[in-house]
Amino acid sequence: MDDIKVLFVNQEIEPYVVGTQMASAGLKLPQQAMALGYDVRTFMPKFGVINERRNQLHEVIRLSGLNLVIAGADHPLIIKVASLQSIRLQVYFIDNEDYFLRRGIFHDELGLPYSDNDERGFFFAKGVLETVKKLRWIPDIIHCNGWFTSFIPPLVRTLYGGESLFGGVKILYTLYDDTPDEPIGANPYNTLGALKITPEEREGMRDADHAALCRLAIRYSDAVGKGEIGLDPGLIAYAQGLERPLYDLHSEEQVQAAYQSLMG
């Protein structure tokens, strides 16, 4: 298995974010993949709630410095890294002061969603893919966890579709109970302008909520994982309608079966 490379793109990972099934899975899934002999790289956003000193994050200068254009504006990409020594897992963090230097993860002090959550997610996704390119590490499987990773599948299949690095990659998009009935941003239609999705798909994102973004991710993925109970039944039905394989991912055996099936 040591020649199979799995890129984990996680919304949350313990101990950096705690208290959710997704954060627990964000730690457990890479750990299980490493135990099975897979070569693993793991990414998450550097949310402002993460204490850099306590968690011993440091900037990786050779990977930082690229400017990413999001909704027509340049935003510097900063890459940080930390290690979970107990399980020998290194975590890369995507950072930017405009998008992630905030007290909340997705909501402000009043509980209102940030109006640029769509831009933040798009920046995170592009940051991950550009960093993987710099690492010159070619993944066989990209395993996305959480709605904030939803831009990864359409980006890989459209904007990055012509690049040999991602040409043969399989995408597993895992659903969690994290799709609130609220807009993903002020103008997702504009944010998605860089994608080469169909006009109908882009129009459908004009006033998109989280479920609409998840459906977009499912369309561009090879399979769908079920990360916990209580999932949106509409999203499960949507994946089934597209004949996407559905995998439970609650044990090492299930993770191995899913990856083996993806690799054919």
Distance CA 97, CA 67 (A): 13
Is the Cβ–Cβ distance between 206 and 189 less than 8 Å? yes
Residues 6+ apart with CB under 8 A from 264: none
Domains and CATH numbers, the chain: 5-44+116-262 (3.40.50.2000)
pLDDT for res 180 = 83
pLDDT for res 2 = 54
> Could you list the pLDDT tens digit for every one of the 264 residues in the chain?
558 999 999 999 999 999 999 999 999 999 999 999 999 999 999 999 999 999 999 999 999 999 999 988 999 999 999 999 888 999 999 999 999 999 999 999 999 999 999 999 999 999 999 999 999 999 999 999 999 999 999 999 998 988 888 989 999 999 999 888 898 998 888 888 878 888 888 888 888 889 999 999 999 999 999 998 889 999 999 999 999 999 999 899 999 999 999 998
pLDDT for res 86 = 86
pLDDT for res 202 = 86
Question: Left if phi > 0, otherwise alpha if psi is -120 to 50, otherwise beta: which for 65?
Answer: left
The CA-atom distances, in angstroms, between 128 and each of 45, 112, 125, 155 are 9, 27, 5, 11
At residue 257, φ and ψ (nearest 5 deg) are -65, -40
Residue 65 has which token pair? 């410095």
Question: Left if phi > 0, otherwise alpha if psi is -120 to 50, otherwise beta: which for 164?
Answer: alpha
DSSP 33-62: HHHTT-EEEEEEE--TTS-HHHHT-EE-TT
pTM as predicted: 0.95
